[in-house]
Structure 1
């Protein structure tokens, strides 16, 4: 009799444990999905002419973030000047700071700097906008989130599908390079990693990615 009671108690405990675990797993999944839905309502797709699109329409070249009132260049996969594959060294023509031609893109045979992409985006009025620039670190960090796609970049993949799992330049410059192996280069600019969500200082000559932003239209 005692053995039967003991077995029944064990079964009850096991049932309670697995029921609680299943409920907790379901609740966490619900919370995660709800957070993605909330993030999705922030964003609106914008086509190359500057027209807003519905969530299921495309193609889109930019995204408007209603929470920050910022427009973002999405990054393409079409070998255009706005292809997300191209990389850029950090350079400011206005300040004459940085390294101008150490990145790689098809439209500048000598090499590419961030100033080339900014100039091209404003010249072509990407998404009917001529106010493109590098984002501040705090602006770019607003796009960082746990990746909704396993192994993907730490960004909302549905709206920024071509974002690379790498470093993206910001406008912040003249910062001390803290990486020991590169400390001899002394100064660089701040980048945000869409692999880890961290910020770092990279030497100006580093070939990193770029996601331009605009607060105007």
Structure 2
């Protein structure tokens, strides 16, 4: 009994005639007609760029001007970006277009304008703002896993039966849109440094250290194989050390000094602290604050995308790795003691051949890769 509609855009006054038929529950009916005039509108094209949006970096953003209107039966749209970091629109000449928000470090605002043109060439414009916030990716590397699987084989990562896999989440899932400084698999981002800590080309063959552009840490690159332990050079990757560290010259609990010239080329001892002191004395890569990495720092180098290979670290970035032992291990010390509640005689190692960790007796030997903050 009540009818309503929105007044359309009109170029001229337009007469309408309505016919109303009322039918009762016994089949009786009556019809009447009603005439009305719709006036022409001041605007014949109205552009509608849609509501303002809030998104995160790397999100897929849709710009939708399909709620625009024109007096003619058809119209077209053309989008352009007005402000902010330049984005690539999928179809800038369609009313609905998309883009992926770029990699940013701080909050940013983008603005876009759509021009709507009717079939007679008349236009109208409207704009929309898109506020972009950085994703909470943290200051740590992802796992290096870039593939998804079901129970038996590799599959596309968007699967309702096997959702939220490692490759779909975190920094690695946006690797193709990350603004990387250097090189590395997926989201790993490394820059090579020479002996003075100056940057060198990504394809340089001679380099002494590596800067991790995600964590900001600088890592030791081992020198080439130079002989048979202990007849090796100081930073030969084959050298092994027991866990012995000091804090303010006081030995940490549970540490054990390895005998001199046993598993390393040191006339003092083959404990970690002696190695740190010798490297710092060199002002190696422009730093004297070299140390043993924490558990989390060392784990950040492991690339689990290399599972099934002998070494789970990028050997183009970290060359001169020691040979994998007959038992299949490449154990590297962390600085963290394993708290067993009694002797504190074990510290955590991370095995670069399988990515596992282990509470390892401090009196045994393992490899070491030093790190420092910038």
Distance 2:270 2:340 in 1: 23
1:41-95 residue CA offsets vs partner (Å, 9 max, x unmatched):
x001111121111111131121000010000012121442111100000001334
Change (3 A) 1:153 1:25: same
Matched position secondary structure for 1:175: coil
Match of 1:38 in 2: 186
Matched position secondary structure for 2:275: helix
Contact 1:168 1:193 in 2 (8 A): yes
- 1:161: how far off? 1.9
Match of 1:169 in 2: 333
Which runs of no fewer than 5 residues in structure 2 stay unpaired? 1-152, 158-166, 177-183, 227-231, 325-329
Contact 2:345 2:362 in 1 (8 A): yes
Q: 1:1-217 counterparts in 2 under 5 A?
A: 37-39=185-187, 42-77=189-224, 78=226, 79-94=232-247, 95-97=250-252, 98-102=255-259, 104-106=263-265, 108-109=266-267, 111-146=269-304, 148=306, 151-164=309-322, 165=324, 166-173=330-337, 175-176=339-340, 187-216=345-374
Distance 1:37 1:187 in 2: 36
Q: Cα RMSD (Å) of the superposition?
A: 2.9
Stretch deviating more after TM superposition (148-157 or 121-130): 148-157
Matched position secondary structure for 1:49: coil
TM-score under structure 1 normalisation? 0.73
- 1:174: how far off? 5.0
Change (3 A) 1:149 1:124: farther
Change (3 A) 1:176 1:25: closer
TM-score under structure 2 normalisation? 0.44
Structure with the greater relative contact order (CA < 8 A, sep ≥ 6): 1 or 2? 1
Change (3 A) 1:99 1:156: same
Matched position secondary structure for 1:172: strand
Which runs of no fewer than 5 residues in structure 1 stay unpaired? 1-23, 178-183
Distance 1:147 1:84 in 2: 23
Distance 1:211 1:56 in 2: 22
Contact 1:135 1:212 in 2 (8 A): yes
- 1:39: how far off? 4.4
Higher helix share: 1
Matched position secondary structure for 1:105: coil
